[in-house]
C-alpha cells in the first residue's frame, strides 16, 4: 500500500474510515493499485459479493421448501465479509462467528459442501452440526461454535501457539456487536495484548444481536475505541465500503504478522432476521432497514464505483447473474444427491465399541422403523 493510503487509515477515528461515498465516489485521491488491487481483483470482489447475496436467497429458499431446517442470512454484510476475507493471506487462519458466508466463498469453500452442510448431508460430520456451521481444515477455517464469543479466546490460544512455535502465521477472528459484550471478548483481548498474539479481531457491528440493539451492548462511543484499554490499535471502518474493509484488513494483517494484535470494527447492517427462528419486524423499525438498503447497500456502492472506473456495464451484470444462478443451482442439485444420515448414526461414535445395551436400543428402533415402513 502506498504511503498516502496508509496515512488515510488511522486508528481511533470519530468517523468510520471510508474510501467511497454512498454513491461510489472516491473520497480522497487514490487508485485501486494504491491498496494493491487490480481491475481483475475489483471484478472478483464484486462477483463474490453478488454470489454471497444470491447464496442467501437459495439458503432461505431451501428452508422454505423444507430441504433445510435452519438458515442464517448474511445479506447487507457482503462487503464486510467478502472484502475482509479477500485480505486474509492464504496460509493464515480464520475463526468465523456465524455470519461470515462471504469469507467462506472468497476463500474457495466449495458451494456443494456449503449446501450439503445446510441440508444435513451424511458426509459433513454426519450432520451433527447446526446448518450454516461450516468449517474446513484444509482451508484453515475453524468450525463455528454456537456459543457467542467462544471463538475469541480459542483464536488467541492458537495465536499463542503460533508464537511458541515461532511460525509466521496470523489469525482473523470474527465476532458480532453482541459478542463484544461477552466476557470472552475481554479475556481474549486482554491475553492478545499481553502476549502480543498475531490476531486480527474483526467485529461485524450490524446494529443488532437478535432483538437487542447496540445501545444495550456498549456504553462507549464505539467498539473500536475499546482497543486502547488492551494496548492495541482499533480501527473504526465503514463495513459496507468494500475498499475500506479490504485496505484496513490488509493493514491489520501486516501488523498481526509483526505481533501487533488489532481490533477492527466494521459498521454494517443485517437486512434479514437474525435467523429463520426469528422475525425482525417484531422489534425493528422498517425505516431503519430501508435507510440502510437505500443509502449504504454494499453491492450498489461497489457497482457505482466500478461504473466510474469504466469496468462495469449492464451486459456483464446480466452475465454474472446468469452464471451465479447456474453455479448455485448446480451445487444444490449435487448436494441433494448426497445421502442423509441414517437413524443408526444417532447411536454411533459415543463408544469405540458399541455396548450391548445401546446396540439393543438401536436394533429396537430400526426394527420399529422397518415395521412402520419409515
Ligand atoms: C453464549 C450465548 N448466548 C446466547 C446465544 C444465542 N444467540 C445466538 S446469536 C446471538 C446474537 C449474536 O449477536 P451478534 O454477536 O451481534 O451477532 P449477529 O447475530 O448480529 O451477527 C445470540 C444471543 C448463544 N448462541 N450463545
Ligand atoms: Mg450483531
The DSSP-derived string for 26-63 is: BSSS--GGGGT--HHHHHHHHHHHHHHHHHHHHHHHHH
Bridge-based pairing of strands 233-238 and 208-209 is unpaired
Q: Is the CB of 324 under 6 A from ligand 1?
A: no
Residue nearest to atom 7 of ligand 1 (CA): 148
354 CA to centre of ligand 2 in angstroms:
43
Q: Is the CB of 208 under 6 A from ligand 1?
A: yes
Residue 327 phi, psi dihedral angles, 5° rounding: -60, -45
Taking the C-alpha atoms of residue 102 and residue 107, their distance in angstroms, rounded to an integer, is 8
Give residue 374's pLDDT. Answer: 76
The residue whose grid cell reads 474510501 is 19
Residue nearest to atom 19 of ligand 1 (CA): 209
Query: CA angle at residue 118 from 264 to 170, to 5 degrees?
Result: 30
Per-residue tens of pLDDT for the chain, all 374 residues: 999 999 999 999 999 999 999 999 999 999 999 999 999 999 999 999 999 999 999 999 999 999 999 999 999 999 999 999 999 999 999 999 999 999 999 999 999 999 999 999 999 989 999 999 999 999 999 999 999 999 999 999 999 999 999 999 999 999 999 999 999 999 999 999 999 999 999 999 999 999 999 999 999 999 999 999 999 999 999 999 999 999 999 999 999 999 999 999 999 999 999 999 999 999 999 999 999 999 999 999 999 999 999 999 999 999 999 999 999 999 999 999 999 999 999 999 989 999 999 999 999 999 999 999 87
Here the cell at position 326 is 447456474
Mutate to test the pocket of ligand 1, among 209, 270, 289 (most ligand atoms within 8 A of CB): 209
351 is a catalytic site residue: no
Q: Is the CB of 133 under 6 A from ligand 1?
A: no
The residue whose grid cell reads 443408526 is 344
Mutate to test the pocket of ligand 1, among 77, 148, 179 (most ligand atoms within 8 A of CB): 148
Burial string for 290-301 (b: 16+ CB within 10 Å, else e) reads: eebeeebbbbbb
Taking the C-alpha atoms of residue 166 and residue 98, their distance in angstroms, rounded to an integer, is 30
339 CA to centre of ligand 2 in angstroms:
34
Give the number of the atom of ligand 1 that is nearest the alpha carbon of residue 150: 1
Q: Is the CB of 176 under 6 A from ligand 1?
A: yes
303 is a catalytic site residue: no
Q: Is the CB of 210 under 6 A from ligand 1?
A: yes
Fold of 3-341: Rossmann fold (3.40.50)
Please tell me whether the overall predicted TM-score, pTM, comes out greater than 0.85 for this model: yes
Catalytic residue among 53, 107, 121, 270: 270
3-class DSSP string for 253-317: HHHHHCCCCEEEEEECCCCCCCCCCCCHHHCCCHHHHHHHHHHHCHHHHHHHHHHHHCCCCHHHH
Q: Is the CB of 209 under 6 A from ligand 1?
A: yes
283 is a catalytic site residue: yes
139 CA to centre of ligand 2 in angstroms:
25
166 CA to centre of ligand 2 in angstroms:
35
Taking the C-alpha atoms of residue 208 and residue 185, their distance in angstroms, rounded to an integer, is 17
Catalytic residue among 53, 98, 121, 274: 274
Amino acid at each position: 500500500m502506498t504511503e498516502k493510503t496508509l496515512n488515510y487509515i488511522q486508528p481511533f477515528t470519530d468517523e468510520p474510515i471510508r474510501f467511497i461515498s454512498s454513491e461510489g465516489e472516491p473520497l480522497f485521491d487514490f487508485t485501486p493499485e494504491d491498496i494493491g488491487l487490480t481491475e481483475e481483483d475489483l471484478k472478483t470482489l464484486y462477483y463474490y459479493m453478488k454470489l454471497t447475496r444470491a447464496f442467501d436467497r437459495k439458503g432461505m429458499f431451501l428452508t422454505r421448501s423444507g430441504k433445510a431446517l435452519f438458515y442464517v442470512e448474511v445479506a447487507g454484510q457482503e462487503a464486510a465479509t467478502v472484502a475482509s476475507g479477500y485480505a486474509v493471506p492464504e496460509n493464515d487462519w480464520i475463526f468465523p462467528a456465524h455470519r461470515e458466508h462471504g469469507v467462506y466463498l472468497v476463500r474457495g469453500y466449495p458451494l456443494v459442501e456449503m449446501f450439503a452442510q445446510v441440508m444435513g448431508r451424511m458426509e459433513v460430520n454426519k450432520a451433527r452440526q447446526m446448518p450454516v456451521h461450516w468449517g474446513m481444515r484444509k482451508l484453515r477455517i475453524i468450525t463455528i461454535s454456537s456459543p457467542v464469543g467462544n471463538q475469541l479466546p480459542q483464536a488467541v490460544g492458537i495465536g499463542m501457539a503460533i508464537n511458541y512455535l515461532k511460525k509466521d502465521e496470523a489469525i482473523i477472528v470474527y465476532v458480532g456487536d453482541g459478542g463484544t459484550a461477552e466476557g470472552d471478548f475481554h479475556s481474549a483481548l486482554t491475553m492478545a495484548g499481553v502476549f502480543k498474539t498475531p490476531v486480527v479481531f474483526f467485529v461485524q457491528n450490524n446494529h443488532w444481536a437478535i432483538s437487542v440493539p447496540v445501545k444495550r451492548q456498549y456504553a462507549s462511543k464505539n467498539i473500536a475505541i475499546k482497543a486502547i484499554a488492551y494496548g492495541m490499535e482499533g480501527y473504526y471502518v465503514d463495513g459496507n465500503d468494500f475498499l475500506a474493509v479490504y485496505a484496513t484488513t490488509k493493514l491489520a494483517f501486516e501488523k498481526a504478522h509483526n505481533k501487533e494484535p488489532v481490533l477492527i470494527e466494521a459498521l454494517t447492517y443485517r437486512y434479514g432476521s437474525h435467523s429463520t427462528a426469528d422475525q425482525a419486524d417484531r422489534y425493528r423499525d422498517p425505516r431503519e432497514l430501508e435507510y440502510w438498503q437505500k443509502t449504504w447497500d454494499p453491492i450498489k456502492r461497489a457497482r457505482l464505483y466500478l461504473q466510474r472506473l469504466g469496468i462495469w456495464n449492464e451486459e456483464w451484470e446480466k452475465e454474472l447473474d446468469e452464471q451465479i444462478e447456474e453455479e448455485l443451482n448446480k451445487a444444490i442439485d449435487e448436494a441433494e444427491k448426497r445421502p442423509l444420515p441414517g437413524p443408526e448414526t444417532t447411536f454411533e461414535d459415543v463408544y469405540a465399541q458399541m455396548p450391548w445395551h445401546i446396540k439393543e436400543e438401536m436394533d429396537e428402533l430400526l426394527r420399529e422403523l422397518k415395521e412402520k415402513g419409515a
